[in-house]
Amino acid sequence: GTYCQTAVAPASKGEIQFVNNSSNPYYIYISGVLQTTLPGMTYITYSVNVGSYTCRVLQKSGYAVYPTDQSYTANVTKGGTAVVSFP
């Protein structure tokens, strides 16, 4: 049979930026995969392919009883930056 593949230009990339507005560190997940631990009051940017991503932030320390655990949907467009600002 004929195999047809949709050509995606290498330029079809965008960014996801995580902004930690807390003084506490957070674990950063993209599509269920742990990326890094983001220190308090800092940000980090990832270059990813265009598409929709589930982004999760999980508080590492500094909580009383339960850590803050939030998920966001980041829609990445070509050349665009999806910002995940938390908590």
pLDDT digits (tens, 9 = 90+) for 1-59: 566 666 655 669 999 999 999 999 999 999 999 999 999 999 999 999 999 999 999 99
| Residue-level pLDDT at 11 | 64
- pLDDT tens digit string along 56-67? 999 999 999 999
| Residue-level pLDDT at 1 | 57
| Residue-level pLDDT at 40 | 98
Query: Count of CB atoms within 10 A of residue 26's CB?
Result: 27
